[in-house]
Chains A and B, each alone.
Chain A
């Protein structure tokens, strides 16, 4: 099938290690941020979100950190598994019915 993100930055981690994927966003007015996972041939899949009034949110094996001062977002994946291999995008928007603006994406490769 087709590949997503042939020319994207790549993060290679060993199975079981923790992964940290970073993203810089552009709009200081953005009030909602989302991390999406995209596997080849599939649409983006929601992982975790965070509102601008928070600086940290945890899910199952994932944590998102938001630093509004420097407009930086990170996704931490604990105990990375082979099934986590995909391209990860951060996205931002400014309202409940507004468009998402996506970052450039990072390819995560999990090695055994």
Chain B
């Protein structure tokens, strides 16, 4: 079956631009997570959804970061007024009420 997919795979933005990153979780997976992975580091938690409800957004680094999952399936992570420090790989993971999280390939964001 299909795994978690993310688009675009690569995104280059000029500083100050807004970007939107998409995640398509595994069908039927209730839980959806976003992580940020800086070069040379492990992924760091950003936010978590259970169905359409955003239950934890404690990892979002600033109010420029916003995530939504309006129908409890596809999720979008939006970053407004991008800064160079936002450059990273953004990973999406989904799970079905279990410990195991399945990760997508990530979107590499480069802010110039």
B56-A99 in contact (CB<8A): yes
B40 is contacted by which of A8, A34, A44, A45 (Cβ under 8 Å)? A8
Q: Which residue in chain A gives the minimum CB-CB distance to B110? A: A2
B108→A100 contact, CB < 8 A: no
The segment from B13-21, B67-75, B78-86, B95-103 that touches chain A is B95-103
- Cβ of B103: which chain A residues have Cβ within 8 Å of it? 36, 43-45
State whether the Cβ of B91 lies closer than 8 Å to any Cβ in chain A.
yes
The docked-state distance in angstroms from the alpha carbon of A3 to that of B99 is 28
Q: Is B31 an interface residue (CB 8 A)?
A: yes
B86 to chain A, nearest CB (A): 16
Residues of B within 8 A of A5 (CB): 40
| Min C-beta distance of A74 to chain B, whole Å | 17
Contact A93–B99 (Cβ < 8 Å): yes
Instruction: Contact check, B91 vs A43: say whether CB atoms are below 8 A apart.
Output: yes
A59 in the interface (beta carbon within 8 A): no
Chain A residues touching B, range: 20 to 34
- Interface check A7, CB cutoff 8 A: yes
Q: Are B42 and A43 in contact (CB under 8 A)?
A: no
Contact with A along B24-64 (1 / 0, CB 8 A): 00000001010101011111110010100001100100000
Q: Evaluate whether A2 and B100 lie within 8 angstroms (CB atoms) in the complex, with A44-B91, A100-B45 already known.
A: no
Scan residues 1-32 of chain A and give those whose CB is less than 8 A from a CB of chain B: 2-8, 32
Asked whether A41 is an interface residue with its Cβ less than 8 Å from the other chain, the reply is: yes
In Å, the complex CA distance between A43 and B41 comes to 13
Q: For B104, what are the chain A residues with a Cβ–Cβ distance below 8 Å?
A: 43
**Are A44 and B105 also in contact (CB < 8 A) when A97-B50, A99-B48 are?**
no
- Pairwise interchain contact A104-B45, C-beta atoms closer than 8 A: no
Say whether B99 contacts A43, CB under 8 Å. no
B residues sitting closer than 8 Å to A (CB atoms) are: 4, 31, 33, 35, 37, 39-45, 48, 50, 55-56, 59, 89, 91, 93, 95, 97-106, 108
Apart from A43-B106, A49-B99, A102-B43: 5 A-B pairs, beta carbons within 8 A: A34-B99, A43-B93, A43-B105, A44-B43, A89-B43
